[in-house]
Amino acid sequence: MNASSSSAPAGAIVSTRHFNVGRDRLFEAFSDPAQLIQWWGPKGFTNTFHKFDLRPGGDWLFTMHGPDGKDYDTVKKFTEVIPCQRIVFQHLESVHRFDMTLIFEAEPNGSRFTWHMLFESPAEAEKLRSFITAANEENFDRLEAHLSSHVSADEWSMTRSFEASPADLFQAWTDAATFSQWWGPHAFTNAVCITDPRPGGEYRVTMRSPDGTDYPLHGRYLEIQSPDLWVMTMDCTDHPPAWHDVVKPERTPEETNPAGVMRLSVSLIEGDGHTRMDLRIRFVSPAIRDAFVRMGIQDGWGESLDSLAALLAAKESK
């Protein structure tokens, strides 16, 4: 990966790097404290987080432990949070006070992460510039290693490339008439398909198996950043009881939806004449994730995306 720190005005230090993942994955690596604690800081540093309240006005309190054994108590306050786009916080140390802006940008074949640090004292920024620039590059190295190795135990993912534009893929996911043509395993049809692709909007789709059994699914769009990123929930409460028994054979009568509400994130990365789709599902627990793997989630989603690819190819040939 190429890494660089760009020139900046007096009082500012800017570091930036391209990562081969979508903006949602970068944002998650920072916004999830369980992940952030693993990579934040230069090489050799570890962290103890005391508070991480990611919202405007929220505090981030932690102690950085240096490789020499020295501890660095740190106080930061978040002033702006725009998911998958921008985070701003104040570093409230009496000696080195600065505002830091984290910018998440979509790019061909991945996304760009830019850190913009603006010091109250330009002289202080110049004194620290070479040290901070090198430290930030070490921090990016740690983040890159984390992104390449981290897989949550409650998460399942699939990556697929399509010879189609992000706009065509976004339309195929959000337009009900198109969505109904490819969603679900082979031989399934969709008797009902309703979409309202906006933050807070709902969707409903009823998959019908070859034997006539209906599998209703509904959810809500949590986030949409057309055309390269969207996040939606998946709720299978209305699936047949026999399906729920397979998810959790020992379920009690009160457990009407043992799978819980799943979170589906889809990000698109365009480059080299194709678009890569990164699809991730976050389950309520590792046990439920494992149940879906045993039930054939890999094959089911593989067949759905095969149908999507065929649909897009047919559209292109017209």
User: Around Cβ 106, how many Cβ atoms within 10 Å?
Assistant: 20
Is 53:59 a contact under the CB 8 Å cutoff? yes
Place of tokens 């339309």: 171
Of the two residues 317 and 89, the one the predictor is more confident about is 89
pTM of the model: 0.73
CA dihedral 94, 143, 123, 120 (to 10 degrees): -50
Instruction: Please report, as a single letter, which amino acid is at residue 317.
Output: S
Task: Specify the pLDDT at position 8.
Answer: 63
Task: Determine the Cα–Cα distance for residues 168 and 206; give it in Å rounded to an integer.
Answer: 23
Task: Determine the Cα–Cα distance for residues 102 and 40; give it in Å rounded to an integer.
Answer: 13
Nearest C-alpha neighbor of 38 from the set 155, 149, 157, 153: 149
The tens digit of pLDDT for each residue in 54-69 reads: 999 999 999 999 999 9
The tens digit of pLDDT for each residue in 168-213 reads: 999 999 999 999 999 999 999 999 999 999 999 999 999 999 999 9
Task: Determine the Cα–Cα distance for residues 77 and 53; give it in Å rounded to an integer.
Answer: 9
* Sign, Cα dihedral of 280, 281, 286, 288: negative
| pLDDT surpasses 70 at 7 | no
Do the bridges between strand 86-92 and strand 97-107 make them parallel or antiparallel, or are there none, so unpaired? antiparallel
The tens digit of pLDDT for each residue in 99-157 reads: 999 999 988 888 999 999 999 889 999 999 999 999 999 999 999 998 887 778 899 99
Domain ranges of the chain: 3-149, 155-317
Task: Specify the pLDDT at position 3.
Answer: 45
Kindly indicate the confidence band of residue 1, based on its pLDDT and cuts at 50, 70 and 90: very low
Q: What is the CATH number of domain 155-317?
A: 3.30.530.20
79 CB-near residues (< 8 Å, 6+ apart): 56, 57, 88, 89, 90, 99
Q: What is the DSSP letter of 67?
A: T
Residue 287 in tokens: 């046990």
The tens digit of pLDDT for each residue in 69-84 reads: 999 999 999 999 999 9
CATH match for 3-149 among 3.20.20.140, 3.30.530.20, 3.30.56.10, 3.30.70.260: 3.30.530.20
CA dihedral 153, 293, 302, 238 (to 10 degrees): -100
Measured in Å, how far apart are the chain's first and last C-alpha atoms?
A: 39
